Amino acid sequence: MMKRLLTTVLLAWTGILLSAAPVERVYVSTDRPVYLAGDAVWCSLSILDRNGRFSNESAVAYLELVSTDGTACTAKIGLLEGRGAGSFRIPVTTPTGTYRLVAYTAVNAAEEGMPWMAGSRILTVFNTTSAARVAGGVELVDEADYEKQETAGTAPEGALELSMRVRLPKNAPAVLNLHNAGSAASVSLSVYHEDDLTAAPQENTPGSFLEAIPDTARLSREASPEKDGEVITARLRGTLIHGPDDLSFATLSSAGSPSDVYIGRTDGDDRIRFYTSNIYGNREIVCEVSQLDRKEGYIDFESPFLRPDAGKLPRLRLSPAQRTDLMARKTALRREKTLRTDTLTSFMAHREDLLLASVAPRRYHLDEYTRFPSVREIIVEIIPELTLRSVGGEPMLFLTYGDALGRRFDRTNNILVMMDGVVLSDLGLLLDFDAMLLEDIDIYNQAVIVGKTPVNGIVNFITKKNYVTALRFPANVRVVDFQGVAYPVAYYGAVPSGAGQDLRQLLYWNPVLELGPGDENRLEIHTPGYAGRFKAVAEGFTEDGKPVYQELVFEVE
| HEC-encoded secondary structure of 411-447 | CCCCCEEEECCEECCCHHHHHCCCHHHEEEEEEECCC
Measured distance CA(549)–CA(557) in Å, rounded: 27
Measured distance CA(533)–CA(166) in Å, rounded: 10
pTM of the model: 0.89
pLDDT in tens, 83-139: 999 999 999 999 999 999 999 999 898 888 888 889 999 999 999 999 999 999 999
Measured distance CA(413)–CA(299) in Å, rounded: 27
- Among 45-49, 166-170, 305-309, 495-499, which is the least confidently predicted range? 495-499
What is the reported pLDDT for 5? 44
pLDDT in tens, 467-483: 998 888 877 788 889 99
Beta bridge partners of 418: 423, 460
More confident residue, 440 or 146: 440
Kindly tell me if the per-residue pLDDT of 10 is higher than 50.
no
Question: Binning pLDDT at 50, 70 and 90, where does residue 390 land?
Answer: confident
Pick from 270, 265, 267, 231: which is nearest to 251 by CA? 265
pLDDT in tens, 328-358: 999 999 887 766 555 667 777 777 666 666 6
Q: Do 149 and 200 contact (CB within 8 A), yes or no?
A: no
Report how far apart, in Å, the C-alpha atoms of 213 and of each of 50, 57, 78, 389 are: 6, 16, 22, 62
| Span 507-535, average pLDDT | 94
Q: CB burial class (10 A; 0-12, 13-18, 19+) of residue 324?
A: exposed
Q: In 249-332, where do the E strands start and end? A: 249-254, 257-266, 271-275, 283-289, 298-301, 316-318
Pick from 452, 456, 460: which is nearest to 422 by CA? 460
What is the reported pLDDT for 499? 61
pLDDT in tens, 359-382: 788 999 999 999 999 999 999 999
The total number of residues written for the chain in this structure: 557
More confident residue, 351 or 426: 426
What is the reported pLDDT for 267? 66
What is the reported pLDDT for 405? 63
What is the reported pLDDT for 248? 58
Helix, strand, coil: what percent of the chain each, to 5?
15, 40, 45
What is the reported pLDDT for 83? 96
Measured distance CA(387)–CA(323) in Å, rounded: 70
CA dihedral defined by 135, 136, 137, 141, rounded to 10 degrees?
130
What is the reported pLDDT for 22? 81
Measured distance CA(498)–CA(443) in Å, rounded: 44
- Among 43-47, 139-143, 244-248, which is the least confidently predicted range? 244-248
Q: Which residues have a Cβ under 8 Å from the Cβ of 62 and sit 6 or more positions away?
A: 74, 75, 76, 77, 103, 104, 105, 304, 305, 306
What is the reported pLDDT for 103? 96
Beta bridge partners of 27: 46
Collapsing DSSP states into helix, strand and coil, what is residue 407? coil
Q: Do 456 and 415 contact (CB within 8 A), yes or no?
A: yes
Measured distance CA(466)–CA(269) in Å, rounded: 34
Report how far apart, in Å, the C-alpha atoms of 343 and of each of 175, 492, 494, 506, 541 are: 20, 9, 7, 15, 30
| HEC-encoded secondary structure of 438-494 | EEEEEEECCCEEECCEEECCEEEEEECCCHHHHCCCCCCEEEEEECCEECCEEECCC
Percent residues over pLDDT 90 in the chain: 57
Q: Do 266 and 299 contact (CB within 8 A), yes or no?
A: no
Collapsing DSSP states into helix, strand and coil, what is residue 71? strand
Pick from 278, 246, 248: which is nearest to 262 by CA? 278
| Span 442-470, average pLDDT | 85
